[in-house]
Amino acid sequence: MNANELADDLNGGDVSYITMDKAATMLRQQQAEIEALKAKTLTDEEIEEVYRTVEQDFYLTESKKPDGGWRNFPVELGRAILRKAQEK
């Protein structure tokens, strides 16, 4: 059962013990997921490390392009920071 199905049951008047138990379980799972997301914050040092890595990769690969490739740098840096946060 997903959250929408549970909400439909509750809106339909189904307040049986089983539905209430499922609601309580789902709320606990959602709270655990919220707490897990809070732990995905990077320190300044981690962000600086990602910056240095992306900068070095760009220098080695993108600098050979006619425009230097640097206009894509902010996007690649953002993606790298997000990947690092997801690894946590």
Q: pLDDT for 71-86, tens place per residue?
A: 778 888 999 999 998 8
Reported as a single tens digit per residue, the pLDDT across 17-65 is: 787 888 888 889 999 888 877 777 899 999 999 999 998 888 877 666 6
Rounded Cα distance between 29 and 6, Å, is 14
The answer to pTM > 0.75 is no
Contact predicate 53/80, CB 8 Å: yes
